[in-house]
Amino acid sequence: MKENRTTVTETTDATGDAAVNVSTGAVFDQQRAEAAVRELLIAVGEDPDREGLQETPARVARAYRESFDGLFRDPADVLAKTFNEDHRELVLVKDIPIYSTCEHHLVPFYGHAHIGYIPGDTGTVTGLSKLARLADGYAKRPQVQERLTSQIADAVAEHLEAQAVIVVIEAEHLCMAMRGIRKPGASTVTSAVRGGFRNDARSRAEALSLIRDH
């Protein structure tokens, strides 16, 4: 049976527009998110009406809206601005801080992304800050690290028409550190290569050596 809800509280983005999920078309519902947090507090035996928790549902709902900001825009749009610099050598931005949310437990994972690419025949490049914004946009979604790595690589390859792309992410997952196996400090490393880096072992090794040279 289709749910009938007559009241939806929309949360707007920085431009004042409603926050609409770019994949599903759903609007972020602040009121429903607050109600869900309140129910969760009740489910674990807490009193959501006690002084310290009275504003918690609203705070948590706003925090999730911010943490999942990448759902309400296409992160790859930041690559629309490009420059023809006739550059055909490696461009590498290292140690980009990322903060994301594990979609399995809805707890954070965080670390650094390294994004490198060799421009295509046109020598087209993008602003260095755009690579950091790209990583941030895809990270601000319910994620798994493997998919996050691939999404960044695919976006760079497609939108910059890059000859070769490499993305490496190193991250610590709090779902491993604070629960379950409880192994704080364990680092997960994922990589994605596209184009020339797939078949050119020498170029791939050069890029990886630059990434590892912290």
Distance from C-alpha of 202 to C-alpha of 10, rounded to nearest angstrom: 51
Is 105 annotated in a binding site? The answer is yes
Could you confirm whether 173 is annotated as catalytic? yes
Choosing from 30, 143, 145, 163, the catalytic residue is 145
Choosing from 105, 161, 172, 206, the catalytic residue is 105
- Cβ proximity of 148 and 192 under 8 Å: no
Is 102 annotated in a binding site? The answer is yes
Could you confirm whether 39 is annotated as catalytic? no
Could you confirm whether 104 is annotated as catalytic? yes
Burial class (CB in 10 A: 0-12, 13-18, 19+), 84: exposed
Where does residue 37 fall: left (phi above 0), alpha (psi -120 to 50 degrees), or beta otherwise?
A: alpha
Distance from C-alpha of 185 to C-alpha of 172, rounded to nearest angstrom: 7
Could you confirm whether 102 is annotated as catalytic? yes
Is 159 annotated in a binding site? The answer is no
Choosing from 161, 170, 172, 175, the catalytic residue is 175
User: Strand pairing of 124-126 and 82-84?
Assistant: antiparallel
Could you confirm whether 105 is annotated as catalytic? yes
Could you confirm whether 103 is annotated as catalytic? yes
Annotation: binding site: 102, 105, 175
Tell me which residues are annotated as active site. 102-105, 145, 173, 175
Annotation: binding site for Zn(2+): 102, 105, 175
